[in-house]
């Protein structure tokens, strides 16, 4: 049976849907209602919660086939990009959010059997992520950058234009990785210097490597300081950037700084020819 689609500002979708535990007649009725509503509105995705069923069920249309995904869970995601999406809930207004092109996930099928799936097509990945959002009390509005949210709300109310999001999201490539790349190369050669005493090398050669170690250690520390300050700049510029968060950055800095100190200490005792 065709059901009425919920639309903004109806907030009845703002709940966490419950898991599907029974796949009997009630489930089939819910699935049929979702498919009928999708056909009526020519939709590629619809979740149970968008038509009033508070269960973790979404249906995706592919090549005319409607597939049910119950109790979906995303295990991993990669390759972030900016996705401009139009949904019936937001009256087909174009809203740009950050999504991922590749997903690994598990779900229960119509026979109550757990399935695993890897999605590497952009369109299906976007549909799946948006469906999971609805099922777990999230929508496109919750994913826009914080400093743009009020502008989006005004645009949805017809009181302004939808803002541009060109500088709002985390870049897929960050210049701060150059700091890490150089530091890793210096660390590699510091490590190599530690095994040189195992070979019959001249005192002059070992002395040259030890000089390298003495220079490389402070350079790595300065690189990590540069990494930290540039990462802080990105964290302020890209409000949706999970890789820019301070916890991730500190982990990068600590691991390389500790390695540099350990290699420098080892060089003092093992490579130092004096």
* Span 22-43, pLDDT tens digits: 999 999 999 999 999 999 999 9
The upper half-sphere exposure of residue 23, i.e. CA atoms within 13 Å in the direction of its Cβ, equals: 12
Global pTM?
A: 0.60
Contact between residue 192 and residue 185 where contact means Cβ atoms under 8 Å apart: no
pLDDT digits (tens, 9 = 90+) for 84-129: 899 999 988 888 888 999 999 999 999 999 999 999 999 999 999 9
* Token representation of residue 247: 């916890």
Residue % of the chain over a pLDDT of 70: 89
Mean pLDDT within 181-192:
95
pLDDT exceeds 80 at position 1: yes
10 Å CB burial of residue 228 (0-12, 13-18, 19+) is: middle
Q: What is the pLDDT of residue 249?
A: 80
Q: What are phi and psi of 129, to 5 degrees?
A: -65, -40
Q: Is the dihedral of CA 14, 20, 25, 29 positive or negative?
A: positive
């Amino acid at each position: 049976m065709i059901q009425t689609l919920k639309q903004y500002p109806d907030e009845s979708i703002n709940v966490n849907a419950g898991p599907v535990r029974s796949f009997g007649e009630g489930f089939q009725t819910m699935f049929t209602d979702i498919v009928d509503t999708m056909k009526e509105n020519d939709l590629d995705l619809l979740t149970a919660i968008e038509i009033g069923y508070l269960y973790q069920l979404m249906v995706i249309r592919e090549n005319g086939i409607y597939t049910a995904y119950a109790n979906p869970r995303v295990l991993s995601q990669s390759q972030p990009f900016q996705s401009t999406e139009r949904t019936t809930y937001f009256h087909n207004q174009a809203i740009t959010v950050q999504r991922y092109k590749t997903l690994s996930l598990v779900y229960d099928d119509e026979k109550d059997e757990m399935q695993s799936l890897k999605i590497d097509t952009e369109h299906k990945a976007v549909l799946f992520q948006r469906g999971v959002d609805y099922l777990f009390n999230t929508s496109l509005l919750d994913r826009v950058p914080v400093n743009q949210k009020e502008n989006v709300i005004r645009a949805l109310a017809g009181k302004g234009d939808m803002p541009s999001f060109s500088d709002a999201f985390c870049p897929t490539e960050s210049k701060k990785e150059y700091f890490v790349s150089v530091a890793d190369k210096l660390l590699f050669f510091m490590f190599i210097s530690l095994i040189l005493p195992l070979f019959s090398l001249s005192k002059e050669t070992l002395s040259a490597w030890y000089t390298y170690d003495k220079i490389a250690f402070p350079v790595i520390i300065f690189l990590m300081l540069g990494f930290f300050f540039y990462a802080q700049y990105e964290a302020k510029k890209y409000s949706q950037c999970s890789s820019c968060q301070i916890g991730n950055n500190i982990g990068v800095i600590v691991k390389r700084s500790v390695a540099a100190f350990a290699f420098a200490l080892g060089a003092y005792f093992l490579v130092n020819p004096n």
